Amino acid sequence: MSKAMEPDLHNPLGGARGQAADKEWNHPSNHWLRGFVLDNRAALGTLGVFIVMMAVFMFANPTVFTTWYLYSSVLTTLPVALFVVVPLVFVVTCGEIDLSFPATMGFASWVFALVVQAGYDPFLGIAAAIVTGTLLGFLVGSLVVYGGLSSLIATLGMNFLLRGLIQIINEGKSTALTGLADSWAYKIFSSQIYGIPVQIFWAIAFVVFSALLYNRHRFGAQVKVVGDNPDSAKQMGIDVKRVRVKVFVFVGIGAAIAGTFSVMINFTWWPTAGDGYLLPVLASVFVGGTPTWGGIGTVVGGAIGAVTVSFIQTGVVAAGLSGFYVQFFNGLIIILSLLGHKWNQARYR
Amino acid sequence: MGERIIELRDIKKSYGQVYALGGVNLSVDRGEVVGLIGDNGAGKSTLIKILSGVVKPTSGEILVRGKPVSGWSAARSRDAGIETVFQDRALAVQQTIVRNIFMGRELTGFLGWLKVGKEIEEASRLMREIGFTSKVFTPQSIVGQLSGGERQGVAIARAIYKQAELIILDEPTTALSLTETAKVFHFVRQVRASGRSILFIGHNIHHVFDIADRFVVLDRGKVALTADRSEIKSADELINFMEDIAHPGGLPGLHEASGAEQRA
């Protein structure tokens, strides 16, 4: 055996070794368009689903789908979802899940409402809300990571716990913020420019920043590695626990911004603020093409997923179907997306 | 050969009453491939753990570049330029080659933003250095698309990037086919050519025989044989020797060295 394999072993990689050593890398995806498609197949797949869905809606009811009002209303509420969908992509990539963000949205926006109601500048309220979100994210993250708890159950528990706390203290009463409309903060974060809700610009900026954070920053690189192979990451000197806590803090910050935006849309804080976002936001992450097993994901895909999910509800009603169809179509889109992504993605683990 | 990278003198390790290692001497010189052979339970993994500083020896002396080191630890081992490549759990398979090479030591600029271009450039250089070039893959290919031998190449490139002087390959070819093994050997030869050292651990004697400059046979916690490549005519001679220490009786002089008194 040893004699037979000798020539192979001394001349491995075939005879082309000499020339190959000097040659530049040559990749099937060398053409920029092909490479781009391969690298972004999940996000592009999601975009495809969205376009097909919109085409169906437009075909069903052309008049409603060419009126600006429909888009304007989606663009007002969509940013709220985007601010939590994007950090959740980081959490899922890291191999965790966070179901506590609705309560964090409610809690942080409550702090915002309290500060504004007390007569302080709304900017100060936003800052206070973000600090609250950061602390809550750190609390939830530490509980999961240092407490060694399952993130699925622990964050579910924290969602109930924090929401319960809000309800106990407020006894179900909402807070109206009457002076908010005249403030600078409202003009900057919640008004309209040429009929376009200004929130969407902030949300797009957040998505772009987060996509860069995900793909072009040490944080994103470490989140992916930790979600992919925590043993290896640890061996290579990455503080795995710290990275995990950080993704929960990121969700806390995103939830605080989202909660504040939702209060600014309605000028009122409700003790249930954020509750309705739990399932649509989770659906958006997975419709967007981030798989459940961790290690990979797509921020832009998640954002397109959020757009898709936002349009389902509006679209179904506007297309002339009754509200009873909304859940059915939600489910249909989720299942079809998952099937599409399964076919579209190679799985290496 | 050149400078002595590391030397273990009379290393003993006992777990309670049981001796895992009963006085092992081992040294690795610069630019040398040492093949460490031994059956399961011979003490190979204990020896690797001691070299990488994860396990502390019960007694014995460790010398780095000729100087005795006190307080041997994982950090000391890393400072001495010793890097262990484990077969399975080393790589994040859904990430690119670049991300794996720079795992935990990303090349960053302002505020932690990645220097992507520089990373790709550096990864290409490292991979060329170990002869890992391909028309099919680039540094931005996903590790999951690579074969077993090529994955070892990524792990070796990463070890080199970490300034490793001595790379310990723990059973790098055990699960690999012939062609894949050939690829790993190619990388190992390139690493040796660059003046670094390799401790190649395996239990397939044919594999170790083809690549090593020197052989160390471990048996029940003791060094049963140390021999240069030139002293051994063929792999069969090594196999015969191994069989002999496993079933003593053929050559009476040899199994004394296997340390019968330490077996208790």
Q: What pLDDT, in 10s, does the model give residues B97-129?
A: 999 999 999 999 999 999 999 999 999 999 998
Question: Helix A41-60 to helix A32-39 angle, to the nearest 10 degrees?
Answer: 80
**pTM of the shown model:** 0.86
Distance, in Å, from the CA atom of A275 to the CA atom of A287, rounded to the nearest integer, reads 20
Q: Provide the 3-class DSSP secondary structure of residue A97.
A: coil
Residue B189 sits in which domain range?
A: 4-90+164-262
Task: Classify residue A29 by burial, with Cβ atoms within 10 Å: 0-12, 13-18, 19+.
Answer: middle
> Which chain B residues are within 8 Å of A27, Cβ to Cβ?
136-138, 140-141
Select the residue of B114, B139, B181 nearest A217 (Cβ to Cβ). B114
Asked if the C-beta of B113 comes within 8 angstroms of chain A's C-beta atoms, the answer is yes
In our burial notation (b when 16+ CB lie closer than 10 A, e otherwise), range B41-54 reads ebbbbbbbbbbbbe
The predicted pLDDT at position A25 comes to 52
Is B119 within a domain?
A: no
Question: By the CB < 8 Å criterion, does B264 face chain A?
Answer: no
- In this predicted structure, the answer to whether residue B182 has a pLDDT above a threshold of 80 is yes
Helix (H, G, I), strand (E, B) or coil at B14: strand
What is the residue type of B60? Answer: G
The whole-number pLDDT of residue B249 equals: 60
Quick: pLDDT tens for B156-171. Answer: 999 888 888 999 998 8
**Does the structure's ipTM exceed the value 0.95?**
no
Q: CATH no. for residue B79?
A: 3.40.50.300
Res B18: pLDDT: 85
Going by the DSSP 8-state scheme, the letter that residue B15 receives in this structure is: E
Tell which residue, A171, A177, A139, has the closest CA to residue A155.
Answer: A139
Asked if pLDDT for residue B197 goes beyond 90, the answer is yes
Q: How confident is the model at residue A88 (pLDDT cuts 50, 70, 90)?
A: very high
In this complex, the residue of A13, A20, A221 whose CB is nearest that of residue B99 is A221
Domain count, chain B: 1
**Which residue segments constitute the domains of chain A, with CATH numbers given?**
42-343 (1.10.3470)
Residue B172: both structure tokens together? 């790098």
Decide which of A5 and A147 is more confident.
Answer: A147
Is position B136 within any domain? no
Judge whether B204 is closer than 8 Å to chain A, CB to CB: no
Burial class of A32 by CB neighbour count within 10 A (0 to 12, 13 to 18, 19+): exposed
DSSP B61-84: EEEETTEE-SS--HHHHHHTTEEE
Residue B254 has pLDDT above 70, yes or no: no
Q: Which of B95, B131, B137 sits opposite A224 (nearest CB)?
A: B95
Among the residue ranges A2-16, B40-54, B218-232, the one predicted with the least confidence is A2-16
A99-122 tens-digit pLDDT: 999 999 999 999 999 999 999 999
